[in-house]
């Protein structure tokens, strides 16, 4: 579905680039890093350039508030 391109640890926000499909507020996603650590969470809000969005489509890069810290290149998959 996509991957984390950057993580801002001070504010707990990950930048996600969508490689295929779409994600919307309310979807559940699983984030998995290269060591196999993973967690699931519901998407509560997404932003592009500080503007709230409801849906992200293929090719979009958006900010996602995450419940735990994540590493760059972590996989993002819709559950």
What digits encode the pLDDT tens for the residues 17-71?
A: 999 999 999 999 999 998 989 999 999 999 999 999 999 999 999 999 999 999 9
Counting the structural domains of the chain, the total is 1
Cα(41)–Cα(30) distance, rounded to whole angstroms? 7
Residue 53 is predicted with a pLDDT of: 97
- Full domain range(s) for residue 41: 2-78
- Read off φ and ψ for residue 78, nearest 5 degrees: -75, 135
* Residue bearing tokens 């972590």: 74
Beta strands in 1-79 (DSSP E): 2-8, 13-18, 22-24, 28-32, 38-42, 46-48, 51-53, 55-57, 61-65, 75-78
Q: What phi and psi values does residue 31 have, to the nearest 5 degrees? A: -110, 125
pLDDT for the residue 4: 97
Q: Residue 44 maps to which CATH number?
A: 2.40.30.10
């Amino acid at each position: 579905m996509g991957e984390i391109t950057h993580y801002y640890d001070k504010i707990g926000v990950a930048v996600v680039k969508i490689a295929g499909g779409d994600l919307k507020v309310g979807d559940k996603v699983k984030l998995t890093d290269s060591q196999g650590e993973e967690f699931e969470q519901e998407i509560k809000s997404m932003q592009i350039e500080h503007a709230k969005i409801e849906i992200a489509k293929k090719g979009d890069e958006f900010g996602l508030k995450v419940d735990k810290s994540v590493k760059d290149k972590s996989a993002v998959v819709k559950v």
